[in-house]
Amino acid sequence: MHIPVMLNECLEALITDPKGIYVDGTLGNGGHSAEIFKQLDTDGMLIGFDRDIDAIERVKGKLKSEEGKRVELVHDNYANMAAQLDRLGIGQVNGLLLDLGVSSFQLDIAERGFSFQQDAPIDMRMDQTSGQTAGELVNTAPEQELADLIYRYGEDKASRRIARAIVDARGKNRIETTLQLAAIVERAKGGRKGKKTHPATQTFQALRMAVNDELAGIERVLETMLDRVVEGGRIVVLTFHSLEDRLVKQLFSRHVPREESLQQGGVKRIYEDPAIAWVWKKPLTATEEEQAVNPRSRSAKLRAVEIGE
Ligand SMILES: C[S@@+](CC[C@H](N)C(=O)[O-])C[C@H]1O[C@@H](n2cnc3c(N)ncnc32)[C@H](O)[C@@H]1O
């Protein structure tokens, strides 16, 4: 079961006009989308994106246009959102929600290859219709490239040792499955050392982020959609680890006006166009009650901005 994270907080931040057009960039199981759709009035519209065709098929069965309220589902990377809105003849929207990362469905289905707890070919593509699998990356990338991406996307200080171990192992036999890879990483890091998290957690995160080009996608959708949300509309983003959160925070911060004193006196307002304002200064986190029932919410950070000053 995928329980939507911080559902009430997301909806409260997102919906400013129930007759508006709202985009859910990460449909997943449609948990957030179903509630957005419920809260829309006649003339309201929901557009949902997911690059995973399974998500689109699942949500198709649950969410349908009703008289006066429309749903449009798009199978594409949210990085292409602006072009897809052009195709649909939609100029501006009232709000955008992104709930980043993988869904519980993707993690639970062993064959998707996201999990080091279930044995399967190492795939990790969110869109299984295109692109290189994590298995191909692990078996072909130069050692330095593997080390760099494990360091950058996994923030694992043992990145060089892990990359070396991967290259040694694949020199003997192709690395076929998630459990083989997890064991190689575990050995390279000297075992579990009594830690709660599996030693391969960061390497798996890094490979997933690389294969799906995740940070570039987030940057692109946010940069292009800032111009496509009406003044007073909101962009709401749920992140699940520090790399995502840092990127979102830094990108939005560039658009929040700040004042700088001029030498000749007076002040100058500095910001990138369009100007936006934080809905809250600090990100919201899930309540203790939610964290108790939904472990995925424990690492969630919710940021929201409003377009205009
Ligand atoms: C955490 S789940 C969303 C869960 C959803 N909010 C719910 O409550 O059911 C994230 C979803 O976003 C999708 N996704 C991740 N990156 C994407 C991208 N760049 N473009 C489109 N969809 C993406 C994943 O395939 C996954 O289904």
Mean pLDDT by 10 residues, the chain (309 residues): 92 97 97 97 96 96 90 98 98 98 91 94 96 97 98 97 98 97 97 88 97 98 98 98 97 96 94 97 97 95 96
Whose C-alpha lies nearest to ligand 1, atom 15?
101
Convert 239-260 to b/e letters by CB count within 10 Å (16 or more is b). Answer: bbbebbbebbbebbeebbeeee
Instruction: Give 7-104+214-307's CATH code, choosing from 3.40.50.150, 3.40.710.10, 3.10.290.10, 3.40.630.30.
Output: 3.40.50.150
The percent of the chain in helix, strand and coil, each rounded to the nearest 5, is 45, 20, 40
Whole-number pLDDT of residue 199: 96
Q: Which is it for strands 276-278 and 301-307: parallel, antiparallel or unpaired?
A: antiparallel
CA pair distance 236, 95, nearest whole angstrom: 8
Q: Is 294 in the pocket of ligand 1 (CB under 6 A)?
A: no
Q: Which residues of the chain form CATH 1.10.150.170?
A: 128-211
Q: Which CATH architecture has domain 128-211?
A: Orthogonal Bundle (1.10)
Whole-number pLDDT of residue 309: 79
Q: Which residues of the chain form CATH 3.40.50.150?
A: 7-104+214-307
Rg (CA), the chain: 21
Q: Enter the tokens of residue 260.
A: 């700088």
Q: How far is the CA of 26 from the centre of ligand 1 (A)?
A: 3
Whole-number pLDDT of residue 152: 97
Reported pTM: 0.96
Whole-number pLDDT of residue 195: 83
- Closest approach atom of ligand 1 to CA 217: 19
Only one residue has tokens 């419920």, namely 38
95, 70 in Cβ contact below 8 A? no
Whole-number pLDDT of residue 2: 77
Q: Is 2 in the pocket of ligand 1 (CB under 6 A)?
A: yes
